[in-house]
């Protein structure tokens, strides 16, 4: 078995080609890891928005809150369904969801922002939501709260600024809230009746959320809601709802990142292959000497293959380390479920880093295989004469 330090010294001697190949692998790993982190961040942002002991009710056949419409008389029927927690009011909230076009700061054009029409007691229903700047809006006023991830990203969405939710219908931002990184932080919360009046939704809500006695009480609640033919509604666990909302966007980001990484990896593997072929051509005497010393063809094959893997893993480690910095970056994009812009963060996890490094190792194996085979087939006599 040829010592590993032989491979390390060989890579150190060929600094220029080693660095160029390692940089190519690092770039591929950085792109792959970043895409996987963003996909994981999307799932995390939406998943922490939902709880298993909370139910959400939508119009039957609706894919999301935006496309759902529930008449006002149905709200009390839902709140009276079995399984709803009634000993700690408010037991539920009916909310209105709309999207409105707003201009982004420092950019041309507009994008959709999600507005949630909420009742006065919404903060009691969601105790995890905390106001981190400003104050709560006065009930029935033209004042709004914004999620901290929207703050300063859109024109008018900052503390003490104003904007029109509809033409000639200005509102003022009086507070900024946080909710542990959930998707609510990418919303504007408006008084429900104000939003209904502005968008012509009087007497209707988009969804109803209820606190259940326990997570196990959901089945009884679902049966009570869905078997009532007067309603025409469907019930889901809030956690399941947000998991479905994240599927399309996270799948798209993950697939695009993987596709781009695969395309980039072809170039990186070709670079590794060229580097190793050049190493074989320039080290024929060394190979001949190793064979003369009694090392077998399989030892030569393993030696050069190991060298390619070490080179790829070194580049992969650099790329993985660089991708960790993406954890401090926030990224806004369209959520395909709600067709509104939502701000996500990259979520670096140990599993993603391991997958990225494994991908780098595979690139090294593929890129170094054929040069290693060539090295193992070199005749020791011909190599020494050369």
Q: How many residues does the chain have?
A: 386
CA 201 to chain centre: 33
Give the 3-state secondary structure of residue 174.
strand
How far apart, in whole angstroms, are the C-alpha atoms of residue 347 and residue 305?
Answer: 33
- Tell me the CA distances in angstroms from 236 to 63, 119, 153, 212, one per residue in order: 11, 21, 32, 12
In this prediction, residue 213 carries a pLDDT of 92
- Tell me the CA distances in angstroms from 218 to 87, 89, 215, 223, one per residue in order: 17, 18, 6, 9
In this prediction, residue 94 carries a pLDDT of 95
**Low-confidence spans in the chain with pLDDT less than 70:** 1, 7, 334, 336-339, 380-386
How far apart, in whole angstroms, are the C-alpha atoms of residue 208 and residue 125?
Answer: 12
Instruction: Domain ranges for the chain, please list them.
Output: 4-47+246-385, 61-231
How far apart, in whole angstroms, are the C-alpha atoms of residue 316 and residue 352?
Answer: 12
Give the 3-state secondary structure of residue 379.
coil
How far apart, in whole angstroms, are the C-alpha atoms of residue 146 and residue 176?
Answer: 5
pTM, entire model: 0.74
Q: Which two tokens stand for residue 9?
A: 């010294």
Q: List 244's β-bridge partners, or say none.
A: none
Q: List 110's β-bridge partners, or say none.
A: 103
Which one, of 53, 62, 50, lies nearest residue 233 by Cα?
Answer: 62
Element (H, E) at 102: strand 92-103
In this prediction, residue 374 carries a pLDDT of 81
Q: Please say whether the beta carbons of 24 and 315 come within 8 A.
A: yes
Q: Which two tokens stand for residue 44?
A: 């995390």
Angle formed at CA 99 by CA 97 and CA 101, multiple of 5 degrees: 160
Which one, of 359, 299, 316, 373, lies nearest residue 6 by Cα?
Answer: 299
In this prediction, residue 237 carries a pLDDT of 93
Which one, of 208, 168, 202, 174, lies nearest residue 188 by Cα?
Answer: 174
> Strand 233-237 to strand 54-59: parallel, antiparallel, or no bridges (unpaired)?
antiparallel
Q: Which two tokens stand for residue 1?
A: 């078995």
How far apart, in whole angstroms, are the C-alpha atoms of residue 257 and residue 245?
Answer: 20
Q: Would you give the DSSP letter of residue 81?
A: S
Residue 99: CB atoms within 10 Å: 16
Place of tokens 């790329």: 319
SS3 percent helix, strand, coil of the chain, rounded to 5, is 50, 25, 25
In this prediction, residue 125 carries a pLDDT of 92
């Amino acid at each position: 078995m040829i010592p590993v330090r032989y491979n390390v010294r060989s890579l150190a001697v060929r600094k220029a080609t080693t660095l160029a190949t390692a940089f190519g692998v690092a770039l591929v790993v950085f792109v792959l890891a970043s895409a996987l982190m963003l996909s994981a961040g999307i799932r995390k942002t939406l998943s922490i928005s939902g709880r298993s002991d909370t139910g959400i009710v939508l119009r039957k056949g609706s894919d999301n809150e935006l496309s759902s419409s529930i008449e006002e008389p149905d709200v009390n029927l839902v709140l009276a369904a079995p399984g709803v927690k009634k000993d700690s009011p408010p037991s539920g909230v009916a909310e209105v969801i709309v999207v409105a076009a707003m201009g982004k700061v420092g950019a041309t054009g507009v994008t959709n922002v999600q507005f949630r029409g909420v009742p006065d007691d919404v903060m009691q229903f969601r105790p995890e939501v905390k106001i981190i700047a400003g104050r709560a809006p006065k009930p029935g006023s033209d004042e709004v709260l914004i999620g901290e991830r929207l703050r300063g990203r859109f024109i008018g969405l900052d503390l003490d600024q104003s904007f029109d939710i509809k033409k000639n219908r200005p509102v003022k931002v009086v507070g900024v809230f946080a909710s542990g990184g959930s998707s609510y932080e990418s919303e504007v919360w408006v008084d429900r009746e104000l939003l209904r009046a502005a968008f012509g939704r009087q007497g209707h809500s988009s969804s109803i959320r209820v606190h259940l006695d326990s997570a196990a009480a959901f089945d009884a609640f679902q049966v009570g809601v869905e078997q009532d033919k007067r309603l025409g509604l469907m019930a889901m666990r809030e956690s399941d709802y947000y998991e479905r909302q994240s599927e399309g966007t996270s799948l798209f980001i993950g697939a695009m990142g993987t596709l781009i990484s695969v395309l980039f990896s072809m170039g990186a593997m070709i670079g590794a292959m060229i580097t190793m072929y050049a190493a074989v051509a320039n080290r024929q005497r060394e190979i001949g000497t190793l064979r003369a010393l009694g090392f077998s063809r399989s030892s030569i094959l393993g030696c050069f293959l190991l060298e390619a893997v070490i080179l790829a893993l070194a580049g992969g480690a650099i790329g993985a380390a660089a991708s960790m910095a993406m954890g401090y970056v926030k990224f806004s994009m369209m959520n395909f479920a709600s067709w509104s812009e939502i701000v996500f963060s990259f979520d670096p996890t140990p599993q993603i880093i391991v997958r990225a490094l494994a991908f780098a190792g595979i690139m090294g194996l593929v890129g170094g295989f054929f040069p290693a085979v060539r090295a193992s087939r070199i005749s020791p006599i011909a190599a020494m004469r050369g």
